[in-house]
Every structure is written in C-alpha cells, then in structure tokens.
Structure 1
C-alpha cells in the first residue's frame, strides 16, 4: 500500500468513526428531542383535555342541585335554587373556557364544532326542562315531568362526554404519548358520571309509580353494571399505568366511601320505596352526593398524576438528550485523541516501515534512522526489518557469487575449453534456437566442415602443446571472418564446423574459400615459424529444417574428406569432384610436403 493509501486509510477511518458517532448521537438526540417535544406538547394538550373533563364533570354535577330543586318543598326551594344557580355559573365558566381552548379545533373540525354546539343546545334544553318543573307547585309536579327533565340533563351530559371523547381523540392525534392518560382520565370521568346517574335514577323512582318505577329500576341496575365495570378497569390499570400508590389508595377509599357507602344507601332507598318511609329527593341527594366526592377526587388525582407523569417523562427525555450530546462529545474527543495517538505511534511508523520495505525491495540496504515513537509491536517490526536487511545483504553476496559461478559453469558447459568456441552440444542448442526463431520452421543455411591438415604430424613433431596452440590460433584467426549470427564450433579433435545463417550456395562456397586463404596466410607461431592449412567441405540447402541440418553436416564432412583425398588445403562443395582451389605450400611447414602426404 502506498503512503497516500495509508494516510487516506487513517483519515477516512477517523472521519468514518466520527461520522458514525455523530450520526448515532444525532439520532439519539433527535429521538430524545422529538420525545421531549412530544411530551411537552402532551402536557399542554392534556391540560386542555382537563378542561373538557372538568366541563363534563360540572354538567354532571349540575344534576344534583337540579334534582333536589325539582323535588324540593316550598321551604327548601330557595336553598336548592341558590345551589343550582352556583352550579350553573361554574358550568358556564367551564364551557366558555372550553370554547376558548378548543377554538381552533371547533373552527376547523366539523365533528368538534357539531359536538360542541350539541352540548350547549342540549344543556340549555335540560335547564329549561328543570326550570319548568321547578316552577310548578309541588303538588302539581308529576314524576314523568321530573324524569323527562332529568333525562334531558342526561342527554346534555352525554353530549358533554361526546365532546370530551372527541377532544381526547384530537389530543391523542396531536400527542400519541398521552393516549393512556387520556383514556384513564376519561374512565374516571365516566365513573363519576355513571355514579351521578345512579342517584338520578333513584330520584326518578322516588317521583314515579308503577311501571315507570320498574323501568327506572331496570335502568338503575344496568347503570350499576356499567359503574362496576368502569371501576374494575380503573382498579386494574390506573395505578399500574401511572405508577402511583396514591391512586391505588384512593381507589380503596372510593371502594369504602362510595361502593360500600353511598351505593348501598342508594340501593336500599330504591328497594324501600314501597314501604312509605322513603326520603325526599333533597334528603336523598344530601346523603348520596358526599359519598360520590371520592369519585370526583379520583378523577382529579388521575388527571394530576397523568400530567405529573408526562412532565417526568418530558424531563427524562431532556436529560437523555443532554446525556446523548455529552456522550457524543466525549466519543468524538476520544476518537480524535485516538487518531492522533495512532497516527504518531502506528501510522507514521507504518509509513516509514513501508518505505523501508520499498527500499529493501529496490535493493537499498542502507540502515535508516530509528522511529522513537513507534509502539511496541511496530518497534518489533522495525527490528525484523533490520534482520531482513542484514539477510538481504548476505543474500546479495551469495547471489553475486552464485551468478558468477553459474555464468562460469554455463560458459564452460557451452564452450570448448581450449579454443573458446561453441562445443558440439552447445552448437546443437544454438541451431535449435536458430530454427525456433523462424516462424515457418525452415530456413536457408550453409554448413562448412574443416579439418587442420597434417595435425598428427604437428603433435608428433612439436608436441601437444603446440598442437593445442594451433587449434587456439585457428579459432582466433578465423572467427573475425564470420558474420555475428554465424555459428562457429569445435566439432571434435582438429575438426571444426561453421553454420552460416541465411547463406546462398555461392556465399557458402566463397566464405569457405576466404577462410581457407586466411588460414593459409596466417602465422600460427612466430617461435616455431609454423603455418597450417585446412581442408574444407561445404553443403548448402535453401529450405532446411531442424531435422535436416545434421544431414548437411554429414555431407559437408564427407566432402571435407574428399578435399583431403584431393590433396588437402582445398574446398570441396560437390560430390562430383573437388573444387579448383589447390594446396599452397607454407614455408617451414613440413606436413605440407610430399613426403608427409600420408599424415592426417
């Protein structure tokens, strides 16, 4: 890997880790911030929902003094009328506040607008019915009229609950995190409303007779079942969902004050109506309503606890967001510090190690300076590189010696030790390479075979040392007469062979003649005044293959001996007879005299 690649890896790695940390941190912060915003909105929206719950509760509470007023005597009338007026003022304030808080939804949502309009209309109808009954003298008030007024107020409460539920759905759509709190608060409000209706059904039974009373008794029983169901749901989920021991304690208090107090009282009154000692509606309401206070307190506590729970979660998400930002900052700081340490202790030494490896690979074995800040493992790598560098120095020395020895062995294996020419085996390899270089596998070549005349006599007369000198000098004298791509080899003893590349018949014969003349004129040894001649045999072929060249050598060898038999110092290039070149006596060269005609 190049230096640029190492640096890129270092910075890309550091940037990648930082980016991952930033993305993780931003993701966590974004989620925490989103949750924080959502829960903060949830607190705000739940506060608006509280207004809807409170308005529904005040409409429900308005039935208590209304029922008392419709069943009151003339003496009780002023007291219950004042109480009803105060309750109505509270209801009107809650409805006005509700309209202010939900003005946007009322203006934009047809459901919210129609529901809110129905609440106001039904409440006004219920009040008119109550006022009509209350204005009638006591002895003229019928149970049917009272029941109709109460049921009109029921419908107003139903519309208020419809609006409460619509507001709850709207708030859950804006802040889904408030879903559980909205449903629990709605159930607590429902418990309060249904408990109030139980009391209203008792009043309707007190002011009616016969089949009407039986009908209201059935409605009472049905409403009782709903109250018990809602209470069971609240006991199961409220304290667990909101994680509030206070709600659990208040549910126990509701069980005592209402389900073991006011509710049994209402049931006894409902059962004892036929005994003739039933209380008046005002007396019943006075005793029944205090036990219902616990249900109202339960609703308010669930609302308060829900808001507190949402605020806690909101603060928790804020802390989580701040902690995430802090951890992200710490992580980035650690990564930057680690990148600096790695760059100083690992990457820079690694770059230096790579440069040293490149130098070693390039043959530069100079000892580089030390890296003082390298880590322990990288330092060990530098020590191994020093060892490798030393081994490379020793290996280079061995390779130099081996190369010298190999070259010498190759030269010795391919050349004749005496003359320095190719030996017979090397000649065969050279000829194979010559033909291999030809795409067609054939080429025009000429073969010249020659043999030193009377060589045995030279050995016998002057000794083998002079004979060796004759062979060496023959190679030295004739080599310059050949082209660079011609092959010149010692074939054996005093016999030599020349392979002419791309030669014609005439050029082959001319080359042989030129060699014969050159050797004839040359002085082999000034000390001995020695000259020699040679006999030449020539063959040539236009299209010769590797398989045919030795046949040419055999023909040239045969013609060489024809030249010897023809008188030596001749060139023979035909099997029909020797050529016209005749032997020329060399002064002081005994072997060429007639008396030595039988010498080799």
Structure 2
C-alpha cells in the first residue's frame, strides 16, 4: 500500500465516522427543533383559545346583572342597569377580539362561521328578551317571562360554549400537544357556567309558581349533578396534568367557598322557594355570586397555568436541542481525537521514517515532527538527524512565538476585553475603510448610539459583576441582529455604537427600533430576573466623508440623551424637542423582578 493510500484510508475513515455522527446529531436536533416549533405554535394557538374561553365566560357572566335587574325594585334598577351595561360592553369587546383572532377560520370554515354567527344571533336575541322584560312595570313581570329571558341567555351561553368547543377542536388540530390544556380549561369554564346556571335556576324558581317551579327544580338537580361531575374531573386531573400546587389549593378553596358555602345556600333557597321566607332574586344573587367568584378565579388560574405548562415544555424542547447539539459536538471531537491519535501512533511514524530517508537522500534537512511512539531504531535515527537540525528548530520556534504574540497584541488592541466587540480605536479604523469603499447606488450611512438605562442602579443593586454581565449579554443579544458588514463597538462605559453601511434613513430607524425591542424583551440574568432597556439615538447621512465621522457620533449621542430625557427605552432620530412623533413611543414590558424600575 502506497504512502498516499495509507493517508487516504485514515482520513476517509475519520470523515466517514464524523459524517455518521453529524447525520445522527442532525436527526436528533431536527426532531428537537420540530418539537420546539410545535410547542411554540401550541403556545400561540392556546392564546387564541383563551380568547374563546373568555368570551364564553363573559356571555355567561351577563346573566348575573341581568337576573338582578329583572327582579329589582324601582330603586335598585339604576344600579343593576349600570352593572349590566358594563358587563355587555366587556362581552362585546371580547367578541370583537374573538372575530379578529379567528377571522381566517371563520372565513374558511363553514362550521366555524356558523358557530360564530349563532353566538352573535342568540346573544342579541337574549339581550332583547331581557331588555323587553326590564321595560315592563315590575308588577307585570311574571315568573314565566323572566324564566324565558333567562333561558334565552342560557341559549346564548350554550352557543358560546359550542363555539368554544369548535375553536378548541381547531386549536388541537393545529397543535395536538395542547389537547390536555384545552380540555382542562374547557372544563374549568364549564364549572363556572354550571355554577352560574344553578343560580339562574334558583332565580327562576323564586319568580315562578306551581308546575313551572317544579320543572326548574328538576333542571336545578340535573345541573347540580353535572357540576359535581366536572368538579370531580378537575380535582382528579388538573393538579397532576398541570403540575401545579396552586391549582390544587384553589380547588380546595372552591370546595370551601362555593361547594360548602354558596351552593348549600342555593340548595336551601331552592328547597324553601315555596315558603314565605324566600329572598328576592336580587337578595339571592347578592349572597350567591361572591361565593361563586372562586370558580371564576379557578378558571383564570387554570388558563394561566396551562399556558405556563406549555411554555415549560417549549423550554424543555430548546434545552433538548442544545443538549443534542452539545453531544454531537462532543462525539465529533472524540472522533477527531481518535483519528489524530491513530495518525500519531501508527501511520505517521511509519510514513515519517520512510519520508525522512527520502528527504535526506534528496538533501532536504527540514525538521520533521516528533515521533514519540516510533520504534527504538527509528528514534535513534531521528536523534542523529535532530543534532543537525537543532539550530533551525530553535529559530523556527522563536519565529512562531513572535508571530503568535504579534497576532495577540493586534487582537487586544482592537477588541474590547469585556464584550468582545470592537473598541473605539478599531472602530475608527474600520469606519475609515468603510467610508472609502462606497459603490454606485450607495444609499447612505446610519449611526446608532445607545446607552443602557439606569446602569448605575444595576451596579448598585446587584454588584459590578452583574453590571458587567449586562454589558456582555447586551452585545450577545444584539450582535446577531445586525448584518455582517455592520460595525458594532463598545464606545465607553455602558454606551455602544453601531454603524450601518448602505442603508436608507427609514431602514436605519427601523433597525434601531428593532434592536430596542429585542433588548427590552430579553432576559439578561435568570437568577435575578434581570431585564434591561436602552435609549437610542440615530443619525443618517446619504453622503459622508471620514472627516465628518465625529459629527455623526456627536449628533447620534445628542439624540441618545434626548431619548433619555423623553423617558428612556426610546429611539430618537430628530433634534426637535417638540416633535415627539418622531420618537418611538413603544415601551417594553417591565424590566423584571430583579430590577423593578432600574431599566
């Protein structure tokens, strides 16, 4: 086997193993990435389902003030009328939001469109029935007519739950991993609805007589059985599925405040509705609704916990993807190390011995690599050759050290040690080259200066180590958001500068706004829950010479401080103090529990 074929065999084997590792790692990473994407979509879709749940709950909640208003005295009517109007306004907002979020499905799916139109139609009919009843004199409001209005609102709630179920099926079809969360939140909404209906049946019994009252009592008992079934399912599955102690505790609170408080009161009133001591509908509602509030809180907590659970699974998928990538990298390193060891221990000594004989015969005295694992005879031959080559080897070593030191000094002179970004000196050199390399069709230069808000407060509150981490993380977060030919440097302290090449003025502004939002939404330190914001100043010039570089930075710096004076976490690209329209007014969320108002 020739020398060339031995080397080829070695490297072909190593490359083949590395390719297998890459394929296995790629498959694992692709699976993890797909899992992450699916759960991310699940979080988004569950957010839409939340809107359907909330709309159904608001429609059901209208019955409370409606029932009170229909049974109220003349003096009580203004109070309950205002409450009903507020409830209807909230419901209308939720339905409008629902139509916006599900517009595509409503337009494309006959089932979704039919369900949505049924909700709107039945809700309108129910409201008209309630309003007609309220318009009657109180002594003309018979129990049968009040019950008819209540049942009309029942049907509106039924249609809302039908739409909720259709939306839930649509969400599960798009994101199957949300199935358990969708079903649990649906059950929580059903629990709230059943509790509300029990109260409405009691109101109907209080306003009815004879056979009608018996009919509503039967409906009350049937609804009561369904309520217990839903509660039992929630207590069995919700805490375990959502892995939440808070949900378990709140279920116990619902048992105390509703099942041991408001519900027995409703049963007692229903049983004594024929007696002369029965309360008025308004009195009953005033005592029953507060205890039912815990079911509403439970519904909201289960929705929030379900969303948190989906977020947690999504984060696990990200970690799994990172672990897969790390394991793949480790496997490749191990394979490369093994290939190197075989090359050094087996192939290289044998080939070097043959090669050295050829080189000496040809008069080439270049220093060969050391052969620590070669045989004794070959080592003795190498030792004799090394005596002749020692001086040249020493000179080569010195030259290598000199080049390495020169390169390291060059790197240190151009790089900010903390963030790894360009320092101020290197930025000036890079800008000079950038300004001299303009081509035809060049759109202009943009300079963005930004400064971390309340940086001193971060240092004072968390220490300088966390402050340094904030600077490092700022560079890590915003660096990938820039183009390869953009310049990113630390200008001093907590101040950074970005030079955009070949950009329009609009693009420079939008880039600054995108960077501001990206930084405001990122977590700097998980331990402290630290998030930061920054104020941005932007300047743009269609043409600019290197001599004008300082002017650009001065203008951008001036606008940066204008952004701080205007409230921080802003982008300012104008010198006019009064022209607030040119300043981005979109604020980020709270800076996190570790900083409070520090960012």
User: Under a length normalisation based on structure 2, what TM-score does the superposition of the two structures give?
Assistant: 0.58
The aligned residue for residue 260 of structure 2 is: 260
Q: CA deviation at 1:51?
A: 0.7
The answer to whether the 8 Å contact 1:32/1:317 transfers is yes
The residue number in structure 1 matching 2:18 is 18
Structure 2 partner of 1:441: none
TM-superposed deviation, 1:350: 7.0
Residues 20-70 of structure 1, C-alpha deviations (whole Å, 9 max, x = no match): 221222122112211211111111111111111000000000000111111
Q: Identify the residue that residue 66 of structure 1 maps to in structure 2.
A: 66
Q: 1:544-563 residue pairs with structure 2 within 5 A?
A: none
| Counterparts of 2:162 and 2:49, CA distance in 1 | 13
CA distance in 1, matches of 2:318, 2:165: 30
Contact 1:29 1:324 in 2 (8 A): yes
Distance in 1 separating the partners of 2:53 and 2:200: 20
Work out the CA distance in 1 between the residues paired with 2:208 and 2:377.
Answer: 106
Structure 1 residue 5 displacement after superposition: 6.1
Following superposition, the deviation at residue 325 of structure 1 comes to: 1.9
Q: CA deviation at 1:373?
A: 3.7
Q: 1:150 to 1:373 in 2, by over 3 A?
A: same
2:335 corresponds to: 335
* Pair 1:379–1:243, CA change in 2 (3 A): farther
Length, aligned pairs only: 367
User: Which residue of structure 2 lines up, in the alignment, with residue 240 of structure 1?
Assistant: 240
Cα distance in structure 2, aligned partners of 1:24 and 1:374:
35
Give the structure 1 partner of residue 195 of structure 2.
Answer: 195
What are the superposed Cα offsets for residues 109-142 of structure 1, whole Å, 9 maximum, x if unpaired? 1111111100000000000111111111111111
Per-residue Cα deviation, 1:275-305 (whole angstroms, up to 9, x for no partner):
2110111111111111111110001001111
Q: Indicate the residue corresponding to 2:308 in structure 1.
A: 308
Shift of 1:193: 0.4
Partner of 2:225: 225
Distance 2:266 2:377 in 1: 94
8 A contact 1:262–1:287 mirrored in 2:
yes
Distance 1:142 1:342, change over 3 A: same
Q: Is the 8 A contact 1:69 1:80 kept in 2?
A: yes
Q: 1:7 and 1:202, CA in 2 relative to 1: closer, same or farther beyond 3 A?
A: same
C-alpha distance in 1, partners of 2:266/2:39? 42
What do the CA deviations read for 1:242-272 (whole angstroms, capped 9, x no partner)? 1000000000000000000010000000001
1:232 & 1:9 partners in 2: Cα distance?
68
Counterparts in 2 of 1:350 and 1:67: CA distance versus 1, 3 Å: farther
8 Å CA contact retained: 1:349, 1:371: no
TM alignment of 1:127-138, pairs within 5 A: 127-138=127-138
Match of 1:143 in 2: 143
CA distance in 2, matches of 1:264, 1:347: 88
- Name 1:156's counterpart in structure 2: 156
How many Å apart are 1:241 and its aligned residue?
Answer: 0.5
Q: Give distance in 1, aligned partners of 2:377 and 2:328.
A: 35
Residues 341/88 of structure 1: CA separation in 2 closer, same or farther (3 Å cut): same
Deviation, structure 1 residue 346: 2.4
Query: Equivalents in 2 of 1:267, 1:161: separation in Å?
Result: 25
What is the CA distance between 1:274 and its match in structure 2? Answer: 1.5
Q: What CA deviation, in whole Å up to 9, does each residue of 1:408-431 have, x standing for no partner? A: xxxxxxxxxxxxxxxxxxxxxxxx
SS in 2 for 1:273: coil
Q: Distance in 1 between matches of 2:101 and 2:372?
A: 70
- Separation in 1 of the partners of 2:350 and 2:241? 60
Q: Deviations over 1:218-259 (max 9, x none)?
A: 111111111100000000010100100000000000000000
Say which SS state the counterpart of residue 46 (structure 1) adopts: helix
- After the TM superposition, which segments of 4 or more aligned residues of structure 1 sit over 3 Å from their partners? 1-9, 347-355, 370-375, 378-383
Match of 1:33 in 2: 33
For the 8 Å contact 1:55–1:94, the answer to whether it is kept is: yes
After superposition, the CA RMSD in angstroms is: 2.4
Q: Residues 325-364 of structure 1 correspond to what in structure 2 (within 5 A)?
A: 325-348=325-348
**Aligned equivalent of 2:279:** 279
Note if contact 1:247-1:298 (Cα within 8 Å) is conserved in structure 2: yes
CA distance in 2, matches of 1:79, 1:204: 21
The 1-side partners of 2:201 and 2:312 are apart by 42
The separation in 1 between residues aligned to 2:340 and 2:201, in whole angstroms, is 82
**Alpha-carbon deviation of 1:273?**
0.9
Q: Distance in 1 between matches of 2:93 and 2:353?
A: 85
SS in 2 for 1:75: coil
Q: Secondary structure of 2:76's partner?
A: helix
- For 2:226 and 2:3, locate their aligned partners in 1 and report how far apart those are by CA, in whole Å: 80
- The answer to whether the Cα contact below 8 Å between 1:106 and 1:116 also exists between their aligned partners in 2 is yes
Q: Closer, same or farther in 2 for the Cα pair 1:56/1:340, shift >3 Å?
A: same
Asked whether the 8 Å contact 1:198–1:220 carries over to 2, the reply is yes
- Superimposed CA distance per residue, residues 314-344 of structure 1 (whole angstroms, 9 cap, x where no aligned partner): 2222222223223322322222222122112
Spell out, residue by residue over 1:479-528, the C-alpha distance to the aligned partner (whole angstroms, 9 max, x if none): xxxxxxxxxxxxxxxxxxxxxxxxxxxxxxxxxxxxxxxxxxxxxxxxxx
- Report how far residue 11 of structure 1 moved: 2.6
Assess if the C-alpha contact under 8 Å between 1:194 and 1:226 holds in 2: yes
Distance across 2 between alignment mates of 1:144 and 1:381: 114
Residue of structure 2 equivalent to 1:165: 165
CA contact (8 A) 1:39 1:310 kept: yes
Q: 1:139-538 to 2 correspondence within 5 Å? A: 139-348=139-348, 373=371
1:275 is paired with a residue of what secondary structure? Answer: coil
Residue aligning to 2:120: 120
Contact kept? 1:346, 1:374, Cα under 8 Å: no
